[in-house]
Structure formats: structure tokens, C-alpha cells
Amino acid sequence: MGTRGREIIGMDVDKLLDLLNRAYASEWLAYYQYWLGAKLIKGPMKDAVAAELNLHAAEELNHAVMLSGRILQLGGTPVLAPEGWAKLSPCKYDAPQDPYVTVLLDQNIEGEQCAITTYKALMDATKDKDMVTYNLALAILEQEIEHEEDLQSLREDLDLMVVRGSK
Ligand code: FE
Ligand code: FE
Ligand code: MG
């Protein structure tokens, strides 16, 4: 923990660590949901969609890396056990029970929308109070916005395929 780095934070550091740990927990769930979905996926365009799911899995894991770095820097402890992930995460884990491609896409779109809300809230909480976390949240938010759009455009491609294909 860097003492001066902690002193310049204009908000309650424990409150900040709680927000960071919640986001951290959600990234592990997002990672696993994508990672497993990519393995189970069935249906049209499954290879293209699986490639995107795998890429997103890697990016979610990197978000967890970024958040753990900030938590440690502030003298906190990243969530110690997987049981804590679902307990703390602001976004629910949606098990890929039905591996059909559009079902997986819809589940992950919902997850991205929750992530976008989470990082917007983290930015609002840290604005003018902790520039370092604010910038971190912005960097992650940019990627979550990209994820949502990637998935929605794949979803749209599948919809168009069904409409045109039935004529
Ligand atoms: Fe993420
Ligand atoms: Fe994401
Ligand atoms: Mg992508």
C-alpha cells in the first residue's frame, strides 16, 4: 500500500474498496460465463460467436487483473474465495443452461448492460475524488460498451439470417 497515494483520495477508502471488490467479483463471473458459453455453444454461426465469446472472456479476466491491482495498491484484499463472487457481484451469473447461440448472446448482452451500469456508477462515485480509479473505470467501461455492441451486432446478424432464410 502506498501511503501518499492513499491520502490523496477524497472519499472513504473502505467504501471505495468495497465498490472495487464488487466490480472485481463481477468480472470473474463474467469471465466464467463467457468461457464456458464458448465451449458449449450450439447453432448457426457458432464458430464466429465462440471466437467473440473467447475474446471477451480474456478481456473480462484482464478487467479482474486491473481491479485487483488497484485494490492491492489501496491496501485492500481482493475477494478471497469464489463463494464471494456471486455474493458481492452487482451483476448476476447466468448459467449457460441452454447453449443455443441466441440464448447465450441474450444472456451475455444482459451481463454487459449490467457491467456498463456498474462502471458508470464507479465513475460517478470517484469523479473528482479518485482520478486513478476514475480512469481505470473509464478504461473498463469503454471495453464493456464495445462488448455490448459486438454481441448486439452478432444478434442482429442472426435475426437477419432467420428472416431472409425463411423467404
Ligand atoms: Fe469486464
Ligand atoms: Fe464485458
Ligand atoms: Mg469484442
Residue 149: which CATH number? 1.20.1260.10
Would you say residue 12 lies in a domain? no
How far apart (Å, rounded) are the C-alpha atoms in residues 126 and 96? 34
Would you say residue 153 lies in a domain? yes
Residue 142 is part of which domain span? 18-165
CA of residue 143 to ligand 3 center, whole Å:
8
Confidence of residue 93 (pLDDT cuts 50, 70, 90): very high
How far apart (Å, rounded) are the C-alpha atoms in residues 58 and 155? 21
Q: Which stretches of the chain are DSSP H helices?
A: 3-7, 13-40, 46-73, 83-88, 101-126, 131-165
CA of residue 115 to ligand 1 center, whole Å:
7
DSSP at 77: -
Would you say residue 8 lies in a domain? no
CA of residue 77 to ligand 2 center, whole Å:
23
Ligand nearest to the CA of 119: 1
Ligand nearest to the CA of 108: 2
Average pLDDT over residues 101-113: 98
Q: Which long-range contacts (CB under 8 A, 24 or more apart) does 129-134 make?
A: 129/9, 129/10, 129/11, 130/9, 130/10, 130/11, 130/16, 132/5, 132/70, 133/16, 133/20, 133/70
Query: What percentage of residues in the chain have a pLDDT greater than 70?
Result: 96
Would you say residue 46 lies in a domain? yes
Would you say residue 5 lies in a domain? no
Residue 40: exposure state from Cβ atoms within 10 A (0-12, 13-18, ≥19): middle
How far apart (Å, rounded) are the C-alpha atoms in residues 6 and 131? 12
| Mean pLDDT value across the chain | 96
Per the structure, how many domains does the chain have?
1
Would you say residue 42 lies in a domain? yes
- Its pTM stands at 0.95
How far apart (Å, rounded) are the C-alpha atoms in residues 166 and 4? 65
CA of residue 162 to ligand 2 center, whole Å:
26
CA of residue 116 to ligand 2 center, whole Å:
8
Would you say residue 13 lies in a domain? no
Would you say residue 9 lies in a domain? no
CA of residue 54 to ligand 3 center, whole Å:
9
Average pLDDT over residues 80-90: 98
